[in-house]
């Protein structure tokens, strides 16, 4: 134990002082000695008093009892009757507390020790329940603990009508005191000190037998014991390990004064030495059992008692473990929790359905902005905090403040979740609406066939979207809630809108590209078709060549095709660039778009060429070319064959001339270099910012896409050798047919 056990007699009262001051001191100690005063000071004169009372030399032959109980329950009165002490009692008229702190007095009755034990020291403890000392429940807790820790017998004074009432019977205080007693004085002691809890039931009417009251109290006590927190190792201890119990009921002192005195008289006889021998004890009627059993004695020699008591008090006063919540705080905690639960009912009523709605929406995957959410949240929050304040603020300030903060954070956690889900719904639907609105406006523009201003559409829709979000967010701001702000979310929203704008712009770029490609296709369809038609004319086209231009011949077909192609694409590129810049496409995006345009245009040209050289088409053109040369003279006049004409010679010449076209048509070559056009250089390297998606729909081009395993030469092969040979054969057959026909007509003309 940490309790000081003074053994040195040097601390004993100076006997000289005692004898000199004896008479004066007897008077000074008429009411006993105030062991502990209101300021929680331990009285240094305890030794003096005990010396005066001749207890100091008694060794173990003394006893200490205390009284515990509510204010003005006649504790001091009882002690005075029982022990002839002069503790202050409340005058019958003024209901005012008299006992302050802890008083001690020696038993004045039966000092000879005939019916009572010798040297009984009685401590009168300031009443509990703190009513008259205002908020100072700290003192009642500490004084009660002091009484419990030092006394052999603790008289628990209680009105009959308090039995069974938790607060009334001071059960809360007892609980605290038991708990700290275990912690502070019992936990480390080798032997378990036992005390007697002696319940004195006052104003017993007699209708309820003592036995019943006793059972109620015992049941309450064991419940109380079960609920206290016990130090490690003592978890399974029972209250009976530390306490014996005795019960007595006293009649009403005012209404039945004689009976009261009689009962007190009888009670007094129990304050005698008991026997440790249970056999002897067993013979005694329970109502007459002596209270001082040897095992209750703390075994502190009387001369060491003052120092021991001081040590106990010191430990109680200074031990931080004792800084338990006061009864007021406990009450405040209890009530504040209760009030919290009460005020949460209304809050739940308005907020839970909204939470459920959001949860349901989330489950269905359609987060929606809940109308009226902001107002509901504001009203619910204001109401709950107000209701709590109204009901709880009159309780202990500190506890109230803490509980208010707890409630606030509980409420705010839920409101914040609602708030954020609402913002996220506003975000999602805002971006969606924005995107749909832009697409709709574009579609509308397309339908009208006007050149709509994409950048303008995006800008105005974005402004609307931002405004919508702000107003949705404003609507759910919660007054006074520290978390109620949406700046961060707004920033994210703006960022998302920008991202969505970028992807919409990309789509718009694609649409633009598609339009431009279509334009390229129709231009090439027409102009390249014309070029190929010129083959049919056999003389490189009809009509005079335009000024400055090289006269069109079969030989420079590919020069012209290439020139038309590059000029057309160049014009397309310019259109693309102009449009793309109008809606703020980045230079990188434009660059990629142009690169794609060139590649795709080449594909268009290549397809057009393939169409032109399709078997039937080209054969027809060769035949026309041949016939032009064979059937018309240099002036373009149709020949009328006569037998004298050199039909074979003309035929051979024309046929050879047309035949030469086949290898020419077979390869796309420029006449200057007699090499394929520089398609790879013209298309250029893929821009750095090109993405996989940009390349996804692009057909590979030989000589441009290296890993295609196809050379530029191959890309430029219009007719394979086999195809060319086949074409030649078919052409010759066709030419032969024309020749035979000419021959026939020559002969026919003669015979006619
Ligand atoms: P304490 O504060 O518990 O010490 O109470 P007191 O001994 O000072 O008594 C308070 C008041 O109760 C006084 O007016 C007493 O006369 C009165 N009183 C004392 N004993 C009894 C009792 O047994 N029954 C009733 N009804 N009143 C009592
Ligand atoms: Mg009193």
Name the token pair of 163. Answer: 């039995």
**Confidence grade of residue 299 (pLDDT, cut at 50, 70, 90):** confident
Q: Which residues line ligand 1 (CB under 6 A)?
A: 71-77, 89-90, 92, 98-99, 127, 202-203, 252-254
Q: Which atom of ligand 1 is nearest to the CA of 250?
A: 23
> H helices of 37-158, where?
46-52, 75-83, 137-150
How close is the Cα of 246 to the center of ligand 2, in Å?
22
Ligand index nearest the alpha carbon of residue 155: 1
How close is the Cα of 79 to the center of ligand 1, in Å?
11
Ligand index nearest the alpha carbon of residue 257: 1
- Specify the CATH number for 9-324; select among 3.40.50.720, 3.40.50.300, 2.60.120.10, 3.40.50.40: 3.40.50.300
Over the chain, what is the mean pLDDT?
85
The reply to whether ipTM tops 0.95 is yes
Going by alpha carbons, the residue nearest to atom 25 of ligand 1 is 253
Instruction: Give the pLDDT confidence of 199-236 residue by residue, as tens digits.
Output: 999 999 888 999 999 999 999 999 999 988 888 888 88
Q: Tell me the best of 77, 161, 261 to mutate to test the pocket of ligand 1, counting ligand atoms within 8 Å of each CB and taking the most.
A: 77
Q: Is 373 a residue whose pLDDT tops 50?
A: yes
- Strand, coil or helix: what is 324? coil
Going by alpha carbons, the residue nearest to atom 1 of ligand 1 is 72
Q: Tell me the best of 79, 88, 90 to mutate to test the pocket of ligand 1, counting ligand atoms within 8 Å of each CB and taking the most.
A: 90
Name the token pair of 207. Answer: 């209708």
The interaxial angle of helices 137-150 and 305-318, nearest 10 deg, is 140
Instruction: Give the pLDDT confidence of 446-467 residue by residue, as tens digits.
Output: 888 767 888 899 999 999 999 9
Going by alpha carbons, the residue nearest to atom 6 of ligand 1 is 74
**Confidence grade of residue 17 (pLDDT, cut at 50, 70, 90):** very low
Name the token pair of 35. Answer: 């062991």
How close is the Cα of 251 to the center of ligand 1, in Å?
12
Strands (E) in 70-110, as ranges, are 102-106
Name the token pair of 640. Answer: 């009328």
Closest CA to 658 of 482, 573, 540: 540
Question: Quick one: pLDDT at residue 746?
Answer: 85
- Strand, coil or helix: what is 747? helix
Going by alpha carbons, the residue nearest to atom 22 of ligand 1 is 253
How close is the Cα of 204 to the center of ligand 1, in Å?
14
Closest CA to 654 of 678, 628, 680: 628
- The contacts of residue 31 (CB under 8 Å, 6+ apart) are 85, 86, 87, 88, 103, 105
> Is residue 423 within 8 Å of residue 475, measured between CB atoms?
no
Q: With the C-alpha atoms ordered 12, 16, 18, 19, is the resulting torsion angle positive or negative?
A: positive
> Is residue 664 within 8 Å of residue 618, measured between CB atoms?
no
Instruction: Give the pLDDT confidence of 342-352 residue by residue, as tens digits.
Output: 999 999 999 99
Sheet holding 102-106, edge to edge: 33-36, 102-106, 120-125, 63-69, 153-159, 195-202, 243-249
Going by alpha carbons, the residue nearest to atom 10 of ligand 1 is 72
How close is the Cα of 205 to the center of ligand 1, in Å?
16
**Confidence grade of residue 552 (pLDDT, cut at 50, 70, 90):** low
Ligand index nearest the alpha carbon of residue 89: 1
């Amino acid at each position: 134990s940490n309790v000081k056990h003074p053994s040195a007699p040097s601390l004993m009262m100076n006997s000289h002082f005692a004898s000199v001051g004896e008479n004066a001191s007897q008077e000074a100690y008429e009411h006993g000695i105030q062991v502990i005063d209101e300021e929680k000071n331990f009285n240094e004169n305890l030794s003096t008093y005990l010396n005066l009372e001749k207890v100091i030399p008694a060794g173990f032959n003394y006893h200490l009892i205390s009284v515990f109980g509510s204010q003005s329950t006649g504790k001091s009165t009882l002690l005075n009757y029982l022990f002839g002490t002069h503790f202050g009692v409340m005058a019958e008229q003024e209901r005012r507390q008299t006992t302050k702190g802890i008083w001690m007095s020696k038993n004045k009755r039966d000092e000879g020790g005939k019916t009572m034990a010798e040297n009984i020291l009685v401590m009168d403890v300031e009443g509990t329940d703190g009513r008259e000392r205002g908020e100072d429940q700290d003192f009642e807790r500490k004084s009660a603990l002091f009484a419990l820790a030092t006394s052999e017998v603790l008289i628990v004074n209680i009105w009959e009508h308090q039995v069974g009432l938790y607060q009334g019977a001071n059960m809360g205080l007892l609980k605290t005191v038991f708990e700290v007693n275990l912690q502070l004085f019992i936990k480390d002691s080798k032997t378990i000190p036992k005390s007697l809890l002696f319940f004195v039931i006052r104003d017993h009417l007699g209708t309820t037998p003592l036995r019943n009251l006793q059972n109620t109290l015992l049941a309450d006590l064991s419940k109380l014991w079960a609920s206290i927190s016990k130090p490690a190792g003592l978890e399974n201890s029972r209250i009976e390990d530390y306490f014996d119990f005795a019960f007595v009921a006293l009649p009403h002192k005012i209404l039945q004064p004689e009976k009261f005195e009689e009962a007190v008289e009888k009670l007094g006889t129990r304050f005698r030495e008991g026997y440790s021998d249970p056999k002897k004890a067993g013979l005694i009627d329970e109502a007459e059992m002596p209270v001082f059993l040897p095992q209750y004695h703390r075994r502190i020699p009387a001369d060491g008692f003052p120092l021991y008591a001081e040590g106990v008090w010191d430990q109680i006063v200074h031990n931080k473990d004792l800084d338990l919540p006061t009864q007021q705080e406990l009450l405040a905690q209890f009530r504040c929790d209760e009030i919290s639960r009460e005020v949460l009912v209304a809050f739940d009523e308005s907020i839970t359905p909204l939470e459920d709605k959001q949860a349901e929406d989330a489950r269905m995957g359609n987060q929606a902005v809940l109308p009226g959410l902001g107002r509901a949240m504001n009203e619910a929050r204001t109401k709950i905090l107000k209701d709590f304040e109204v009901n709880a603020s009159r309780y202990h300030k500190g506890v109230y403040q803490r509980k208010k903060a707890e409630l606030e954070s509980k409420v705010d956690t839920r409101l914040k979740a609602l708030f954020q889900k609402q913002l996220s719904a506003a975000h999602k639907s805002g971006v969606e609406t924005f995107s749909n609105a832009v697409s709709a406006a574009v579609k509308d523009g397309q339908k009208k066939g006007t050149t709509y201003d994409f950048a303008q559409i995006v800008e105005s829709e974005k402004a609307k979207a931002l405004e919508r979000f702000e107003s949705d967010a404003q609507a759910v701001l919660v007054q006074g809630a520290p978390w109620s702000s949406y700046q961060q979310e707004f920033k994210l929203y703006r960022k998302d809108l920008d991202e969505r704008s970028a992807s919409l712009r990309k789509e718009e770029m694609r649409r633009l590209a598609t339009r431009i490609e279509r334009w390229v296709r129709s231009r090439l369809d027409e102009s390249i078709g014309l070029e190929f038609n010129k083959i049919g004319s056999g003389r490189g086209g009809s009509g005079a060549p335009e000024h400055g231009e090289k006269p069109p011949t079969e030989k420079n077909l590919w020069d012209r095709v290439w020139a038309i192609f590059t000029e057309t694409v160049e014009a397309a590129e310019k259109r693309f660039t102009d449009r793309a810049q109008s809606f703020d496409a980045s230079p990188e995006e434009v660059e990629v778009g142009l690169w794609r345009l060139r590649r795709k245009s080449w594909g268009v040209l290549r397809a057009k060429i393939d169409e032109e050289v399709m078997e039937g088409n080209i054969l027809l053109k060769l035949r026309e070319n041949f016939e032009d040369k064979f059937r018309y003279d240099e002036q373009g006049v149709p020949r009328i064959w006569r037998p004298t004409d050199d039909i074979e010679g003309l035929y051979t010449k024309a046929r050879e001339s047309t035949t030469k076209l086949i290898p020419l048509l077979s390869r796309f070559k420029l006449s200057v270099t007699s090499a394929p056009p520089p398609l790879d250089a013209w298309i250029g390297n893929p821009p750095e910012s090109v993405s996989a998606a940009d390349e996804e729909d692009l057909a590979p081009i030989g000589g441009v896409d290296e890993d295609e395993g196809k050379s530029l030469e191959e890309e430029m092969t219009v007719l394979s050798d086999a195809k060319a040979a086949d074409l030649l054969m078919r052409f010759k057959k066709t030419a032969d047919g024309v020749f035979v026909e000419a021959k026939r007509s020559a002969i026919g003309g003669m015979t006619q």
